[in-house]
Structure 1
Amino acid sequence: MRLAELSERSGVPSATIKYYLREELLPAGLRITATQAEYGEEHLRRLRLVRALIQIGRVPVATAREVLAALEDESLDQHRRLGAATWALPHGPAPDESDPATGAARREVDRLLADLGWRFSSRTASSSPPYRMLVTAVTALMKLGYPCDSAHLTPYARIAAQLATRDLDMIEERTTPMEQVEAAVTLTVLYEPVLLSLRRLAEAEESNRRFGKGNG
């Protein structure tokens, strides 16, 4: 297909596609004349992934390029490719290492991961954006006096494990590694609001059951 058709099928303006080509986010097409190139289905799939990273995931162009490089790195297994994509997504603030409560929170998070049997080495965990975000959240809970030790967090972690299984089932339904990475990015970004909304709706339902008029 020509650039115009690639633009029409993907919904991405031609000028944006040309920008992605210049930034090496999209591989060059097969040159057929001095001014025209031919593009295939692989370009359409890559373009969808790039858009998922940049538009949905709000990933900077330079970071998107790193994710795509990891995708093409045949020395990486699919687990690491998926990790490179999802870890590149925006996360919450990193822990404040000057705060004395951070150390206590990190110890509690490490205890939680050990109790769960989740295979995170200290080096891997410390470089993980979700791990750092969890430490920051637990620090805030500790300072406000809310329960956040391993015993209190474990039920939430068990539910998260079930959600992760569902996510990976959906990702695994995709047929190619690139489609799986695209699904990982899209599901991570779009399903988090879904999960938050469902939790709040469930809390409202449970609150009505416990405290609503006529239920006492």
Structure 2
Amino acid sequence: MRIAELSRRSGVPAATIKYYVREGLLPPGVRTHRNQAEYQDEHVSRLRLIRALVDIGGLSIEAAKELLGVLDSGGLSARDSLGRVQYALGGRRSLLGDEQRSGAAEDIAALFDRRGWRIDADSPARGALIDVCAALRLLGHADVVAVLDEYAAASEAIAATDIALVRKEPDLERMTETAIVGTILGDTVLSALRRLAQEHLSGTLLPSSDSTVPDEL
């Protein structure tokens, strides 16, 4: 198919398709004439994956390019692929000093010990969690840090579901794609589900705006 047909089938403008090719996210088509190229169904699928990662998952072009490079490498185990996905996502850049982060780092190390989690010291997610916990303490919300074990338990159950989905795929390519899609889009799914659950439970567990809080006896 020509680029116009590829654009129609994928819903991606031709100019954006050319941009993805230049950036290395999308393989080029087979050149048939000086200014023409033929594309295949695989290009349609790849474009849908790119748009899902960028538009729904919120990835930058550079992050999407790195993750797609993991998918295209084809030489990594499922475990290594998942690790590359995690590290490619990076973490938030801390604006806090070492002194402010040190207490939070101890909290997180203790959490890992309690749960028996083996996490690399340079894990971006570990750094992000330390930064969040430090910020929570500075804001006077240490009560959130105090329930990290409950959040960790729920997260471990979710991660077990993620890994089960990856393991049941028939080949390494599908396992890698599932790891990428499940991690990126899964974050969006979990965020949406959490907000929906909060909306549901708040109706019965929190007072409405016109409710009066009884005086303490």
Whole-angstrom CA distance in 2 between matches of 1:191 and 1:155: 16
Residue 75 to residue 39, structure 1, CA distance change in 2 (3 Å): same
Q: Following the alignment from structure 1 to structure 2, what is the Cα–Cα distance between the partners of residues 178 and 42?
A: 17
CA RMSD in angstroms, aligned pairs only: 3.0
Q: CA–CA distance in 1 between the matches of 2:101 and 2:151?
A: 21
CA, structure 1 residues 182+168, in 2 after alignment: closer, same or farther (shift >3 Å)?
A: same
Deviation at 1:148, TM superposition (A): 5.5
Q: Deviations over 1:70-90 (max 9, x none)?
A: 222233222333343455447
The corresponding residue for 1:109 is 108
Q: Deviations over 1:166-214 (max 9, x none)?
A: 3444566766246412343222234323223313432443336xxx89x
Q: Please give the secondary structure, in 2, of the residue aligned with 1:32.
A: strand
Structure 1 position 68 matched with structure 2 position 68: yes
**SS of 2:44's equivalent?**
helix
Q: State TM-score, norm by structure 1.
A: 0.78
Q: Which residue of 1 aligns with 2:194?
A: 195
Secondary structure of the corresponding residue to residue 120 of structure 1: coil
Match of 2:215 in 1: none
Give structure 1 stretches of 5+ with no counterpart. none
Contiguous gaps of at least 5 residues in structure 2 = 213-217
Residue 118 of structure 1 is matched in structure 2 by: 117
Cα separation, partners in 2 of 1:131 and 1:142, compared to 1, 3 Å: same
* Distance apart, 1:47 and its partner CA: 1.3
- Please give the alpha-carbon distance, in whole angstroms, between the structure 2 residues aligned to 1:102 and 1:152: 18
Q: Assess if the C-alpha contact under 8 Å between 1:105 and 1:138 holds in 2.
A: yes
Question: Helix, strand or coil for the counterpart of 1:37?
Answer: strand
Higher mean Cα deviation, 171-180 or 31-40? 171-180
Q: For this pair of structures, how many residues does the alignment match? A: 205
Give the 3 Å change call, closer, same or farther, for CA 10–173 of structure 1 in structure 2: farther
Q: 1:154: which partner in 2?
A: 149
Counterparts of 1:3 and 1:81, CA distance in 2: 31
- SS at 1:118's partner residue? coil
C-alpha separation between the residues in 2 aligned to 1:58 and 1:121? 26
Partner in structure 2 of residue 7 of structure 1:
7
Whether 1:44 aligns to 2:39 is no
Q: Which residue of the other structure, out of 120, 124, 129, is the alignment partner of 1:134?
A: 129
Q: Partner letter of residue 40 of structure 1?
A: Q
Q: Is the contact made by 1:58 and 1:89 (CA closer than 8 Å) also made in structure 2? A: no
Q: Label 1:17 to 1:186 Cα distance change in 2 as closer, same or farther (>3 A).
A: same
Following the alignment from structure 2 to structure 1, what is the Cα–Cα distance between the partners of residues 99 and 120? 23
State the distance in 2 between where 1:133 and 1:159 align. Answer: 18
Say if 2:78 and 2:175, in contact at 8 Å, map to a contact too: yes
Say which SS state the counterpart of residue 6 (structure 1) adopts: helix
- Structure 1 CA distance, aligned partners of 2:116 and 2:95? 23
Decide whether the 8 Å contact of 1:86 with 1:188 is kept in 2. Answer: no
TM-score normalised according to structure 2 size: 0.77
CA distance in 2, matches of 1:170, 1:179: 11
- Moved segments of 4+, more than 6 Å: none
Compared CA separation, residues 199 and 172, structure 1 to 2 (3 A): farther
Report the identity percentage: 32
